[in-house]
Amino acid sequence: MDEADRQLLRRCRVRLVRELQVASLWDVLLSRQLFTPAMIEDIQHAGSGSRSDQVRQLVIDLETRGSQALPLFISCLEDTDQDVLASFLRMSRQEEKQNPEAVRPLNLRPVVLGPMGLTPEDLREKTGPLKSTPRKLAPVVLGPEQLWPAKLRPEVLRPEVPRPVDNCSDVCAQEISKQNPDLAYALNADPCGHCLIINNVNFCLESRLTARTGSNIDCEKLQRRFRLLHFTVEVKCDLMAKQMVQALVELARRDHSGLDCCVVVVLSHGCQASHRQFPGAVYGTDGCLVSIEKIVNIFNGASCPSLGGKPKLFFIQACGGEQKDHGFEVACASPEDRTSGSDPESDAVLFQEGPGSFDQPDAVSSLPTPSDIFVSYSTFPGFVSWRDTRRGSWYVETLDGVFEQWAHSEDLQTLLLRVANAVSQKGIYKQIPGCFNFLRKKLFFKM
């Protein structure tokens, strides 16, 4: 919060203590992400827990909530029909913005604190005009350097909050999301779920598909990454199409009731395929296809009731088709991103409109059938997905790096946006990952 807003709050403190009604504010302050639930609880228990003590602590803490704290607080007042106070603060703020010369530092005269650290203004609010008392009180004189608000209330001992940085509001929003079961999935179990990686590298001669050199590098990275994210990881290599389906069905038939999530990763060749819901198909080592649609539907409610209402994540490293994207010219293409030795393969189909539903009803009847599903594709349908024979695929290499740096603080969709942006800037040919997101909440991995 800038100094002008801070001074305005302090000058209006007496009126706020006298008029502000906090009971209706708590939910709005949370929804606007001004405070976390823990901070709200601290404010509610400030001092004696009375309304006036809560207001005093609210004003003190509001100074630590970033540059937009005061405008957001004014909006909260309007949302709770406290329009008189909202108009008073808004007009006062506008006047100071229009006449900055009138904004002067607070009068830093010594402050004399009475019993319990209360100022004369506080005592007047609680007891009316000050009355003389036979007991002599030794005044406590504070100089300007001691006027940090947290020190003016010795009865509420709380650690000092450092001045906010630019991303404070984002951090607060993430913490609120993680703690709120209505906003984020709970991934509390340890392990939090199963992760199956199907890694097809070597294909039979009849399939006319080349070996996917470099895929083992992808597999090792993902195996390590999901173990660090508290998943039990199982790897199956070089499966024919029927074996792929069998492995997926076996995973779906397990009891997931004590787990919170499930992950499936497919590393293979692919091609375009007709579809109703999810584009694309991947090859078994025998050259036969398994559609992404079928892979996803194996985990619907009828086949896997113990995963009902829980997130099911699918990561597909395969091509979306045979088109090579030359991109379009933009400023600054980094020379080091021009990767050599890549090996393209194809899968998937162009996005089609139309309703599309799962073959079987979801086990949780109160939820939409396609809910709690997230399918991440390495490339846009119809286009090539690039793989370096020495470093692995662009998509998996970037996914692993982004998860390592950001998975402790960001939700899945934000992580995949970072992946898409980084991959889109690589190489002479271009590639853009994408996803089908049918999650109902944010997903933060367990760290």
Residues with a catalytic annotation lie at 269, 319
Structure tokens given for 30: 């949370």
Give residue 433's identity as a one-letter amino acid code. Answer: P
Contact 359, 297 (CB under 8 A): yes
> Hunting for tokens 């900055």 — which residue is that?
100
Angle, vertex CA 391, rays to CA 388 and CA 396, nearest 5: 85
Q: How far is CA 366 from the centre of its chain?
A: 25
> In angstroms, what CA-CA distances link 182 with 366, 402, 441?
15, 26, 7
> In angstroms, what CA-CA distances link 143 with 15, 113, 140, 148, 182?
25, 12, 10, 10, 47
DSSP letter at 285 equals T
Give residue 329's identity as a one-letter amino acid code. Answer: E
Structure tokens given for 195: 């992760």
Which string of DSSP letters, residue by residue, matches 216-275?
A: HHHHHHHHHHHHHTTEEEEEEES--HHHHHHHHHHHHTS--TT-SEEEEEEES-EE----
First to last CA, the chain: 32
Distance CA 40, CA 178 (A): 16
